[in-house]
Amino acid sequence: MGKILGNRWIFILILVGGGWFGYSLLYKPFFGANVQTAAGDQVEFYIPTGYDYRMVGNKLLEEKLIRDPKSFHWLAEQMNYPNHVYPGRYILENGMSTRDLITLLRSGKREPITFTFVKFRTKEDLAAYVGEQFEMSAKDLLEVLNDAEFLRKHNGLTPELALMAFIPNTYEMHWHIKPKDFFERMFKEYKRFWNETRDAQRRKLNLNRREIMTVASIVEEETNKNDEKSTIAGVYLNRVRKGWPLEADPTVKYAVGDFTLRRILNKHLEVQSPYNTYQVAGIPPGPICTPSIASIDAVLKGERHKYMFFCAKADGSGYHAFSETLAQHLAYAREFHDMLNRQGIK
């Protein structure tokens, strides 16, 4: 029977000899349209790891993607699909025949998903997001991000620095990718990102990658205006060169654990944490978020100027006013705080 199914000419002869009965009994169930989609468009179909062909058939039926499950199960056995079930994301076309459907699934021609991320502040946030996009769970990914022995093999990363391996961008990966393979892929992108040009820029600043990405993460939290990131980076680099405390408000929010703070108060500045740059001099132990490529490059190409201070402008534009002197900075700061007071922001 398997040889008969592989030869459409036999079915043509059956049609000639048996007419409608032959078509309905033999040809239509296998070569006629069996896949149906709600809108008549392409649909995504996901096969979880560990599924057998019967579970795949049941899932197709549950998602109302096939009209005739009996023909699917029967032909699947004839085409040896039980030994070729591959997990992953598949794209099904409306009107596909049973034979074409099984041919696609048993081929393992899985389609990658587009994975895009911008910024995460914690490993938990990243793991939760990834768990929504891929088959892996947030818990499984967190185990990898907290596996000190595994991370140490990747340029000496630690659980505290695991987020350094994640460069915000758009990537294509398979839905069924395993947590460790996912991390390996991101680490490969991390190494590709740190090419010789960027490393040369880093060396000129006499900073290592961790320090660059940590300063970049602060810049990321300070502004979403790419055209002023290099100027802000220049302020922090000036402070590093002179041995000044960074006194970066985003690090205080990170230390407090409240990223919704609109106003930093004295009680926040007193929080004891290696990330509180009002209390601890130097660059913090690691990034406070996954900085964008724009923020990292802004640090690597930090603007050379004499500014030592900056403050959000009181006009609500989202831009900052830069100062060389403390007196000038305090004047800008008063304007900004007056604006906060007028708006009742505490």
Q: Note the pLDDT of residue 188.
A: 97
In tens, the pLDDT along 211-268 reads: 999 999 999 999 999 999 999 999 999 999 999 999 999 999 999 999 888 888 889 9
Percentage of the chain modeled with pLDDT above 70: 90
Question: Is the pLDDT confidence value at 143 over 70?
Answer: yes
Average pLDDT over residues 141-157: 97
Query: Taking residues 265-285, what's their average pLDDT?
Result: 93
Predicted local distance difference test score (pLDDT) of residue 201: 97
DSSP letter for each residue of 17-45: HHHHHHIIIIIHHHHSB-B--TTSS-EEE
Q: Residue 1 — pLDDT band, cuts 50, 70, 90?
A: very low
Nearest to 301 by CA among 191, 206, 209, 202: 202
State the Cα angle at 173 between 42 and 225, rounded to 5°: 100
**pLDDT grade, residue 30 (50/70/90)?**
low
Cβ–Cβ contacts within 10 Å for residue 148, how many? 11
Which of residues 340 and 246 earns the better pLDDT score? 246
User: Looking at the predicted structure, is the pLDDT value of residue 102 above 50?
Assistant: yes
Q: Can you give the pLDDT at residue 36? A: 87
Overall residue count recorded for the chain in this entry: 346
Instruction: Kindly report, residue by residue over 32-89, the tens digit of the pLDDT.
Output: 678 888 888 899 999 999 999 999 999 999 999 998 888 899 999 999 999 999 999 9
What is the band of 28 on the pLDDT scale with cuts at 50, 70, 90? low
- Compute the distance between CA of residue 21 and CA of residue 222 in angstroms, rounded to an integer: 73
> Per-residue pLDDT averaged across 202-212, rounded?
97
Residue among 218, 49, 24 nearest 140 (CA): 49
Matching residue, tokens 């911008």: 118
Which of these ranges, 100-104, 129-133, 219-223, 341-345, has the smallest mean pLDDT?
341-345
In 131-143, which positions are buried (b, 16+ CB within 10 angstroms) versus exposed (e)?
beebbbebebbbe
**For strand 88-92 and strand 113-116, is the pairing parallel, antiparallel, or unpaired?**
unpaired
Question: Is 228 within 8 Å of 195 (Cβ atoms)?
Answer: no
- What pLDDT does 346 receive? 67
CA distances from 323 to 91, 241, 313 (A): 56, 17, 12
Question: Residue holding tokens 């699917």?
Answer: 72
9-23, 155-169, 236-250, 310-324: which has the minimum mean pLDDT?
9-23
The pLDDT value recorded for residue 23 is 44
DSSP state of 66: B
Give 304-333 pLDDT, tens digit per residue.
Answer: 999 999 999 988 898 999 999 999 999 998
Per the prediction, the chain carries an average pLDDT of 90
Residues in CB range of 345: below 8 A, 6 or more apart: 262, 263
Query: Model-level pTM?
Result: 0.86
The percentage of residues in the chain with a pLDDT greater than 90, rounded to a whole number, is: 77
What pLDDT score was predicted for residue 21?
A: 44
Q: Please tell me whether residue 153 adopts helix, strand or coil conformation.
A: coil
Predicted pLDDT at 40 = 80
Cα 174 to Cα 135: distance, rounded to the nearest angstrom: 9
Mean pLDDT of 105-123: 95
Q: How far is CA 266 from CA 91, 116, 252, 278, in A?
A: 56, 38, 11, 10
